[in-house]
Structure 1
Amino acid sequence: MHRDPLATILPHGGLPIGNAGIHDTVLQTIGWTPLVRLHRVTEGLSAQVLVKLESANPGNSVKDRVAWAMIATAEHEGWLRPGGTIIEATAGNTGVGLAMVAAVKGYRCIFVLPDKMSHEKISLLKAYGAEVVITPTNVPPDAPESYNGVADRLAREIPGAWRPNQFTNLSNPEIHYRSTGPEIWKQTDGRITAFVAGVGTGGTISGVARYLKEQNPDVRIVGADPEGSVLSGGTPKSWKVEGIGEDFVPKTFNSQLVDEWIRVGDAESFHTARALARQEGMLLGGSTGTNVAAALRYARRLGPEHVVVALGCDTGRNYLSKFFDDKWMADNQLLFVERAPQAIADLIRARGKRELVTISPDATAEQAIQLMESKDISQLPVLAEGKPVGSVQEITLARVLHDAGDPSKVSVGEIMARPLPTLDAAVHLDEAYRLLLAGNTGVLATDDGKVVDIVTRIDLVQYWDRLRKEHGK
């Protein structure tokens, strides 16, 4: 028996064999999906933005890769035997992939879906011969009636059942490390500078990120997250984009590989997906809209030497009755009026430049007190050789004095808190807003890597209030 189950489905040095010649089964057409440059939706951007069209897989989504890998591993390990039953809690596309593989190999499939799934997805699963069980969405993730809870119960009750459990199955990120990542690297000739993807199980972004960072540690990994998902640190609430965002952190997701998060609302996601169809000829799903919207925002700060790749997760044919339908969009109050992009630099320009007061970690707390008093400020970024290494707040200095300490004998380095977050001045102002909303007291603005200014909450209030009054005239 072969020691590596994935190698049996990934010939030619661990890469899918692509779409040349005659294939023994449809499964051999999984992978080597096209990488396509965007043109019209990127108007005005210097960086290249590309979409990895996973909708070109035979099951029309990125989950074909995962389904084949998980089943191959289960067969190899003896967890799934002839005549067995596959049971999975799925957001739809994993079910399609599993059902497709099961149809080729002769397994029974039962899939448990949350009730927000589109009718097209449910019908598609049934078309492959799968059985579908629907569960309520608005229940805790660990509740027995949640889609994971119901899938666990069925797996215990049905003889010969095997549950892939895509949220814990390490074949999930591994197949992306072995296929999707190498494909992107080769297709861009190693020129990729950023990869943008949402997180459902986290398998795609974790596997791809691991491979790309092994090739070039400077490749940036950007997580595109729906507003309401906890993965990017937001306040939990419901959202309508399917397949990405979670109210828990999956075991298949390595968050340490994500360099930054960009949060995108439902309306922007859906309208971006509609724009891809109407302006680029790409009929893709709402999660791709999230990824591309985040990629476009990220690309605003980049020059022509940058290559940004966004994941095109699945086909848009599964959503024709949802966000591609004007009435559905109106009924769900998802009409989207695009605002003119507002960068951090726009706020600084409107406010006017001011002296950036900083302090060294070698300075004393007494010097920090004197600076705050003389400049009438409430916080000090701590810089060492021009790089942020910490910050000092009023309350920290108050604590030194309250505890009867001698501020002249306490160094800033001893009492400083973590550094304030930094963002390039060309970044969308919404990203600074989200950092301030998360509890940061300021955001350092950089230009060509150098700290040039600080943006605080009152800066946002004054800037947006001024715009409101100007637009109200």
Structure 2
Amino acid sequence: MTDRTVDRLNGITPSALDLIGNTPLIALDRLWKGPGRLLAKCEFLNPTGSLKDRSSLFMITKARESGKLNDGDPVIEVTSGNQGGGIACVTAVLGHPFTVAMSKGNSPQRAIMMKALGANCILTDQVNGKPGNVTADDVAAAEEAAMKVKDEIGAYYVDQFNNQTNWLAHYEMTGPEIWRQTAGKIDAFLIGCGTGGCFVGTSKFLKEKNSNIKCFVVEPEGCQPIEGCTITKPLHLLQGSGYGCVPTLFKPELYDGTMAVSDEDAVKYRKLLGQKEGLYCGYTTGANIAAAIKLLQSGKLPKDAVVVTILCDSGLKYPE
């Protein structure tokens, strides 16, 4: 029996990587009293306070297993903050130098965290966004900066927007956890789309278990490309989501519709989540909650429906 096996039996966790996943599913009964029930995965309890820790773990470990990434090789990624934080955690534990490029429009708290985890942070000027509102063009500018450095140092590019192991993390982790925690009693799942990884992986698993489960995408009001709408509001509060284009990883056969949420409702339900449930989360979480309640009120589901969404990250990552 190895020392690590003994540690596990004694309740000792070997590393931060072993803290990723298996987050609680919490009932938001004080915020939503019915009809139906609203449950949410507490992803802010992952090591860097974000859902993205899951895909970060998968994308790096799968790259190592495939031979695309060898011990000590440098890693580079473009991020809105959460993915970069997750990768910084994973690469710190596994011993990879990490460089990350991010728009200055994303909250500075994220850059502070990534630097604390040993990452080299490249912060790029915004193209047409503003602080707190990051556009697809802003992300493209960060990607251009990252590609220059990638070639200079010969780094492995994680490429979260096109990496298939992104959604695989949620197919193998998040979906099974939700199915187990609800004992299969779930009527709908919904979440906003940045890369689309969580929506695709979780929805694919749940629909394979029960094809009657409805899966919805949360989009910022006025920025609804998945719904097929003309973009009228590219600037919104949902950092890491709603970039104004359909994500490459998105699989339309998995979704049953979209739920549009205004900035005002995202702020409203973010505050209510804190005041009613004692949970301090970010704006994307506020949007997920607003959309879930909108869905429960819509008549699209049975009156006793169970809806599951995601508490994406900690509110400590955002300026007030």
* Same topology, TM > 0.5: yes
Q: 1:171 aligns with which of 146, 156, 165?
A: 165
Q: Which amino acid aligns with 1:206?
A: V
Shift of residue 228, structure 1, vs aligned partner: 3.5
Aligned to 1:53: 42
Q: Distance in 1 between matches of 2:278 and 2:173?
A: 26
Shift of residue 39, structure 1, vs aligned partner: 1.9
The percent identity for this pair of structures is 36
Q: Distance in 2 between matches of 1:193 and 1:145?
A: 37
Shift of residue 91, structure 1, vs aligned partner: 1.0
Greater alpha carbon shift after TM alignment, 102-111 vs 206-215: 102-111
1:27 aligns with 2:26: no
Aligned to 1:79: 68
Aligned to 1:156: 151
Q: 1:183 aligns with which of 174, 177, 181?
A: 177
Q: 1:278 to 1:149 in 2, by over 3 A?
A: same
Q: Distance in 2 between matches of 1:78 and 1:91?
A: 27
CA contact (8 A) 1:231 1:246 kept: no
Match of 2:122, SS state, is strand
Q: Distance in 2 between matches of 1:191 and 1:184?
A: 10
1:99-148 per-position Cα deviation (integer Å, ceiling 9, x unaligned): 00111111111111122211211111111111111223435847996122
CA RMSD of aligned residues (A): 2.0
Q: 2:202 aligns with which of 208, 211, 217?
A: 208
Aligned to 2:29: 39
Q: Which amino acid aligns with 1:250?
A: P
Q: 1:95 aligns with which of 75, 84, 95?
A: 84
Shift of residue 232, structure 1, vs aligned partner: 2.7
CA contact (8 A) 2:103 2:138 kept: no
Greater alpha carbon shift after TM alignment, 265-274 vs 95-104: 265-274
Structure 2 unmatched runs, 5+: 1-7, 129-134
CA contact (8 A) 1:232 1:263 kept: no
1:147 aligns with 2:142: yes
1:268 aligns with 2:275: no
Q: 2:227 aligns with which of 203, 223, 232?
A: 232
CA contact (8 A) 2:215 2:257 kept: yes
Q: Distance in 1 between matches of 2:264 and 2:127?
A: 21
Aligned to 2:310: 311
Q: Distance in 2 between matches of 1:63 and 1:234?
A: 27
1:16-73 per-position Cα deviation (integer Å, ceiling 9, x unaligned): xx99922211111111101001122213x21000111111111211111101101111
Shift of residue 278, structure 1, vs aligned partner: 1.2
Shift of residue 156, structure 1, vs aligned partner: 1.8
Q: Which amino acid aligns with 2:269?
A: T
Aligned to 2:114: 125
Larger Rg: 1
Match of 2:70, SS state, is coil
Greater alpha carbon shift after TM alignment, 280-289 vs 82-91: 82-91
Q: Distance in 1 between matches of 2:9 and 2:295?
A: 32
1:201-233 per-position Cα deviation (integer Å, ceiling 9, x unaligned): 000000000000001001000111112432333
CA contact (8 A) 2:126 2:138 kept: no
Match of 1:146, SS state, is helix
CA contact (8 A) 2:76 2:99 kept: yes
CA contact (8 A) 1:141 1:148 kept: no
Match of 1:134, SS state, is strand
Q: 1:38 to 1:141 in 2, by over 3 A?
A: closer
**After superposition, where does 1:257-296 map in structure 2 within 5 Å?**
257-296=254-293
Q: 1:104 to 1:189 in 2, by over 3 A?
A: same
Shift of residue 85, structure 1, vs aligned partner: 1.4
Q: Distance in 1 between matches of 2:236 and 2:143?
A: 19
Shift of residue 266, structure 1, vs aligned partner: 1.2
Q: Distance in 1 between matches of 2:105 and 2:289?
A: 23
Structure with the greater relative contact order (CA < 8 A, sep ≥ 6): 1 or 2? 2
Match of 2:85, SS state, is helix
Shift of residue 149, structure 1, vs aligned partner: 2.1
Structure 1 unmatched runs, 5+: 1-17, 323-473
**After superposition, where does 1:70-469 map in structure 2 within 5 Å?**
70-138=59-127, 141=136, 146-159=141-154, 161-229=155-223, 230-236=225-231, 237-300=234-297, 301=299, 302-319=301-318, 321-322=319-320
CA contact (8 A) 1:269 1:286 kept: yes
Q: Which amino acid aligns with 1:207?
A: G
